Chains A and B, each alone.
Chain A
Amino acid sequence: MPLIRAACIWWHHRKILRFAQDDGKARPYAIAVGLSLMAPIAVAQQSDTRRSGYQDMSKSVQTMQDDDMANPAMLWVREGATLWAKRVGAADKACADCHGGVESMAGVAARYPAFDTALGRPVDLEQRINLCRRDHQQADALANESRELLALTAHVAQQSRGKPIAPPTDPRLQPFADAGAALFKQRQGQLNLSCAQCHDDNDGRKLGSATIPQGHPTGYPIYRLEWQGLGSLKRRLRGCLSGMRAEPYAYDAPEYVQLELFLMQRARGMTLESPGVRP
């Protein structure tokens, strides 16, 4: 992609120069037209080149995601609806007792990770659910990637389906997002790769038979056909880390939330598809 972009810019410059050489008087005009043409093109390129993984999937997998009857993630969503109304913990409270109907969660998944003042750091949606369980339901935290936690997350995330990704502009989040951006560009593992080398520099190309996506978190939690189950963004990141032969961070490591935060900012404005299906 950067090559194509560079070629486009070169082409424009070449045209402007040629025009300018033809007639000296027309030079300022030509440059002005050239610049005014380039500005909207640059903007269009920025918004056009971001692609959800959905757009690169085969038609059959897209149909599977779009049809709630065929999307296997809906099994988790339905389980999540049961858990939402189930009273648990020493407080004997259900999610619904505080939050009411799950519709109140509309837009929540689109703006997480969010800053938690008590902890002094950002938390993602799964961690927020577990904090709610600990503080308000006085129940044990659900295990990472457990069926119950994924079910609740999927149920909450589904309420934001179709909404644009809108990470908060909280300045306290910025250092964490910056750390995530640095991590994204940092080479690691035995293959000495960074996330950016695949997802920024070589997106749309093939890795084996699979198309390399741009890595926008548009559908989490996702039902991945390869996993034959639902998984979080954290699981996806762990898969990438072991793919580049780096040791995945521990499940509660702050690095994941930093990366998630950066990825959400990178995908700002893209439509949330949760729960998504991916090959």
Chain B
Amino acid sequence: MGNALINVPGTVKRGEAFEIKALISHPMETGFRAGTNGTLIPRNIIQRFTCTYNGVEVFNLTLSPAIAANPFISFFTVATDSGSLVLRWTGDGGFSAEETVPITVTS
């Protein structure tokens, strides 16, 4: 289960663009740092972040080790129908998290 703050407006007008903001709790360990005993700390990053809107992918992002811990992701999409946004992020070590946010579209 991922710990994240997700912000989506509750209601949007059809055809209007709206912003989706996600602040994800994640260490984004680069894999290049050594621990106190001198051995490398294994890489642990989010590799991919996607957002689907009523089953249609509207946004995806590939993350790199240079991105800081607790990444903040913000993007826009156009309101089509009421339903749900599914935000999903996967990473090293088979890590996977998902959050579903409802959205109401008014005409």
Q: Given A72-B23, A75-B25, are A228 and B69 neighbors across the interface (CB < 8 Å)?
A: yes
- Tell me the bound Cα distance from A79 to B3 in angstroms: 9
Instruction: Tell me if B88 counts as interface (CB < 8 A to partner A).
Output: no
Count residues of B near A (Cβ-Cβ below 8 Å): 13
Contact B25 A69 (CB under 8 A): no
Hey, which chain B residues are within 8 Å of A70, CB to CB?
21, 23, 72
Inter-chain CA distance A225–B4, complex, in Å, is: 18
Complex interface bits, A83-103 against B, C-beta within 8 A gives 1, otherwise 0: 000000000000000000000
Separation in Å of the A72 CB from the closest CB of chain B?
A: 4
A74 interface residue (CB < 8 Å to B): yes
Q: For A227, give the chain B residue with the smallest CB separation.
A: B69
State whether the Cβ of B7 lies closer than 8 Å to any Cβ in chain A. yes
Q: Does A78 contact B (CB under 8 A)?
A: yes
Does A229 have its Cβ within 8 Å of any Cβ on chain B? Answer: yes
| A79: B residues at CB distance < 8 A | 3
Give A73's nearest chain B residue, CB to CB: B70
The interface residues of chain B lying within 8 Å CB-to-CB of A69 are 5, 7, 21, 23
B101 within 8 A of A: no
CB-based contact A75/B70 at 8 Å = yes
Complex alpha-carbon distance, A70 and B6, angstroms? 10
Q: A75 contacts B68, CB within 8 Å?
A: no
When distances are taken between beta carbons in the complex, the residues of chain B under 8 Å from A225 are 68
Assembled-state Cα–Cα distance A79/B7 (Å): 17
Q: Is the CB of A229 within 8 A of B3?
A: no
Instruction: For residue A228, give the distance in angstroms from its CB to the closest CB of chain B.
Output: 4
Nearest Cβ on chain B to A124's Cβ, whole angstroms: 25
Residues of B within 8 A of A78 (CB): 3, 5
- The CA of A70 and the CA of B5, in the complex, are separated in Å by 9
Compute how far the CA of A250 lies from the CA of B83 in the bound complex, rounded to whole angstroms.
54
Chain A contacts of B69 at CB under 8 A? 72, 228-229
> Which residues between 202 and 240 of chain A lie within 8 Å of chain B, taking CB atoms?
225, 228-229
CA distance A58 to B21 in the complex (A): 22
Q: Which residues of B contact A72 (CB under 8 A)?
A: 23, 69-70, 72
Residue on A nearest B68 in the bound complex, by CB: A228
Least CB separation from A228: chain B residue: B69
Separation of A74 and B25 alpha carbons in the complex (Å): 10
User: Inside 8 A of A75's CB, which chain B residues have their CB?
Assistant: 3-5, 23, 25, 70
A75 to B72 Cα, complex, angstroms:
11
Q: Are A74 and B5 neighbours in the complex by a CB distance under 8 Å?
A: yes
How close is B66's CB to chain A, nearest CB, in angstroms? 13
Q: Which partner residue on chain B sits nearest A76 by CB separation?
A: B25
Closest to B70 in A: A72
Contact with B along A61-73 (1 / 0, CB 8 A): 0000000011010
Decide yes or no: A228 and B23 within 8 Å by CB, A75-B3, A75-B5, A79-B3 being known contacts.
no
Interface centre among B27, B68, B70 (most CB of A within 10 A): B70
A-B contact pairs, 16 of them (CB 8 A): A69-B5, A69-B7, A69-B23, A70-B21, A70-B23, A70-B72, A72-B23, A72-B69, A72-B70, A74-B23, A75-B3, A75-B25, A75-B70, A78-B3, A78-B5, A79-B3
Q: Report, nearest first, the 8 A-B pairs whose CB atoms are least far apart.
A: A228-B69, A72-B70, A75-B25, A69-B7, A69-B21, A70-B72, A228-B68, A74-B5
